[in-house]
Chain A
Amino acid sequence: MTLGTFIHQKSYERIEYEIRKHPFTLVPIFIGFLALAAAPFGLYFLLSSIAPAILDGQLTMPVLILLASFYYLSIGLFLYTYFVTFYLDLLIITNDRLLHIQQQNLFARTISEVDLNKVQDVTSEVHGFFPSLFNYGTLEIQTASATEKFIVMKIPHPETLRQVILDLAVEDAKHHHTEKP
């Protein structure tokens, strides 16, 4: 399946941009993963100094190995699931509409869309040290449709995207005007 099929792309429609959150937003979770991965080593050195018999026990040692395996597989799966959630959270800009796919978690997804000719106002905001350094921020799209406001957070180059959306909205409005008899 392609992304076009997923969003029911129309025959005249072309996907202009696929925008995900800035990759830097993955860094804290990756640091957390490394810290969690290092924790059992600390526990191992603690046990080896205060209760070495536990590590050599005929029964305790296999249990600890299976627990460690369970732990490392769990944190790996957590990181992978976080990445999938991150990767599925997507703003799609076509020459006809905007689609915001919000993947809250593995079992919760919201898809909202608005025609470009319904876009009234677009605001970009870059706020904070890391957002300013890596140029990511929030994009607020005010619309005249039932979904009044699109808020897309932590996306890269919000100022550029703001201008892109406004330009595409103007183009789409021209197209809609010429369609009128």
Chain B
Amino acid sequence: MVILSRMIIISFYVILFLYAFFLLAFLIFTMINIGHLVSTGTFTTTSFAATFLFITYSVIILGLTWFQVAEIDWQQQVTIWNPTWLSGAASFNQPY
């Protein structure tokens, strides 16, 4: 088994990139759904109401997320791997 001997440090904004990637997929699937409704001629009052509710719900979630994370310092560094975390594991190889 290979154990990384170096520390791995990433910038915190990498998490934001992952979230942005998810938002892109979310947007694509939303557009596919709306596209289905429009292309099949089923964009009626009911489906419009459902779409409106979904968009309102999404905007509220995104707004709350923005409100919560706006003050966070995304430039800070995060250690995601440090070999010293496993330093206690060496004792497994010790003879009795």
A and B co-occur in one complex? yes
Chain A residues within 8 Å of B, Cβ to Cβ: 1-6, 58-59, 62-63, 65-66, 68-70, 72-74, 76-77, 79-81, 83-84, 87-88, 90, 101, 106
State A87–B42 Cα separation when bound (angstroms). 8
A65 and B29 contacting across the interface, CB-CB below 8 Å: no
Bound complex: CA of A4 vs CA of B40, how far in Å? 9
Query: Which of A4, A74, A76 has the largest number of chain B CB atoms within 10 A?
Result: A76
Min Cβ gap B44→A in Å is 8
Output the least CB separation between A62 and chain B (Å): 5
State the majority secondary structure of interface residues on A.
helix
Number of interface residues of B (CB under 8 A): 34
Main secondary structure of the interface of B (DSSP, over half): helix
CB neighbours of B61 from chain A (8 A): 69, 72-73, 76
Distance from B38 Cβ to chain A, minimum over Cβ atoms (Å): 7
Name the B residues within 8 Å of A87 (CB-CB): 37, 42, 46-47, 50
